[in-house]
């Protein structure tokens, strides 16, 4: 055993130096095992970890007491090393993928057994690697009740869907596929308005959609470059495209161009307006007036008071604060554009009733 170990150790040492010189890498078992987990610190203490200077420490003798596995957990990250007690030096051969000798295999097996046992007893699973991805997943569940669906065998990519339509996709990819740099990152895709895609791509933190239609989808990296609230705004818009839009029967939205008709001065002086007869409107219908650019917001609620041979007579019910029902808000409730008179979605009708009860 001693001769086998001696040869294995020094062959491995020189092999590691050569490998690191050429490739600069070795196996990071800790990351692979614990990347989708978070420690439960009470369970760590019960397992035998000791808290010292903000770090959780654990030592275990392996291979008949000739080696010691030393583990440190700090800021939720686990690191470890194996010490050869005869030499009082770190033993590293087990981290070299190409090392497959009998002894190094035994070291590697015992090491991985300990790490997996700690994972099973002291760590809690979470769906994604990055903290931001997990926070976003929780925000989605809290608002929509949707959990990530891992549709592929490798369990590295998940979708969020409503009515069998995707509104969010989180994928685990190499950063070089999105932008400059290398390393594992989590990317999230959203479906948003095509015009908004063009504008956002000029800003920091937004990228052409990875593996999706680049005209109507956009990607971000979940590395805290963008705040959670900014990302969730994208999610809400993307979610709106999955909503089954049921139209109200007697509620409408109608665009008004303030450049052609000064609706503000008009309704400041009277509550009644005589429109040319509109075939679609009926008595008692509700009409929400959307004031186009530069306002871009629903500003008035009106009611069809009567319909004569020549006119549709409309009475103003109330005026809303500018921006309260902007187009960005309307999109979240299924109204993606206001180019002509149209029925409003029931989802939006419910919002109006709740806000103005």
What is the pLDDT at residue 152?
83
Closest CA to 207 of 188, 184, 228: 188
Neighbouring residues of 93: CB distance < 8 A, sequence distance ≥ 6: 8, 9, 12, 13, 15, 16, 99, 104, 107
DSSP 140-156: HHHHH----B--STTS-
The answer to whether 171 touches 156, Cβ cutoff 8 Å, is yes
Mean pLDDT of the chain: 88
Pick from 267, 255, 261, 266: which is nearest to 319 by CA? 267
How far is 185 from 187, CA to CA, in rounded Å?
A: 6
C-alpha closest to that of 229 among 101, 143, 290, 153: 143
* pLDDT given for residue 225 in this prediction: 95
Residue 312, number of CB atoms within 10 A of its CB: 22
Residue environment code for 84-98, b if the CB has 16+ CB neighbours within 10 A, otherwise e: beeeeeebbbbbbee
CATH of domain 131-240: 3.90.1150.30
Angle at alpha carbon of residue 225, lines to 224 and 226, rounded to 5°: 85
* Residue 13's pLDDT band (cuts 50, 70, 90): very low
Q: What are phi and psi of 215, to 5 degrees?
A: -80, -30
> Cβ distance 107 to 63 under 8 Å?
yes
pLDDT tens per residue across span 24-40: 357 899 999 999 999 99
Q: What is the pLDDT of residues 216-268, one digit of tens each?
A: 999 999 999 999 999 999 998 898 888 765 667 789 999 999 999 999 999 99
Confidence of residue 151 (pLDDT cuts 50, 70, 90): confident
pLDDT more than 70, % of the chain: 91
């Amino acid at each position: 055993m001693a001769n086998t170990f001696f040869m294995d150790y020094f062959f491995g040492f020189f092999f590691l130096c050569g490998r690191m010189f050429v490739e600069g890498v070795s196996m990071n078992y800790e990351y692979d095992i614990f990347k989708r987990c978070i420690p439960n610190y009470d369970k760590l203490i019960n397992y035998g970890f000791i808290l010292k200077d903000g770090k959780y420490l654990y030592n275990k003798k392996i291979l008949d007491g000739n080696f010691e596995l030393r583990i440190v957990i700090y800021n939720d990250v686990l690191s470890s090393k194996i010490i050869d007690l005869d030499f009082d030096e770190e033993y590293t051969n087990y981290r070299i993928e190409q090392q497959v000798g009998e002894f190094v295999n035994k070291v590697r097996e015992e090491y991985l057994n300990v790490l997996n046992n700690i994972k099973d007893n002291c760590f809690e699973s979470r769906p994604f690697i990055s903290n931001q991805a997990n926070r976003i997943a929780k925000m989605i569940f809290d608002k929509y009740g949707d959990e990530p669906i891992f549709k592929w065998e490798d369990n590295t990519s998940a979708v969020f869907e409503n009515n069998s339509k995707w509104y969010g996709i989180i994928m685990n990819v190499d950063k070089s596929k999105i932008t400059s740099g290398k390393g594992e990152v989590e990317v999230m895709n959203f479906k948003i308005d095509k015009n908004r895609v063009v504008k956002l791509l000029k800003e920091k933190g937004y990228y052409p959609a990875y593996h999706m239609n680049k005209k109507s989808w956009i990607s971000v990296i979940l590395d805290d470059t963008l705040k959670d609230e900014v990302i969730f705004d994208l999610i809400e818009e993307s979610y709106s495209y999955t909503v089954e839009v049921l139209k109200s029967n007697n509620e409408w939205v109608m665009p008004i161009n303030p450049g052609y008709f000064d609706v503000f001065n008009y309704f400041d002086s009277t509550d009644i307006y005589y429109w040319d007869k509109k075939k679609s409107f009926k008595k008692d219908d509700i009409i929400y007036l959307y004031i186009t650019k530069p306002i871009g917001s629903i500003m008035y609620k009106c009611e069809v008071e009567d319909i004569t041979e020549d006119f549709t007579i409309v009475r103003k019910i109330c005026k809303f604060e500018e921006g309260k029902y902007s187009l960005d808000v309307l999109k979240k409730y299924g109204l993606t554009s206001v180019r002509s008179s149209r029925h409003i979605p029931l989802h939006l009708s419910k919002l109006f009733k709740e806000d103005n009860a």
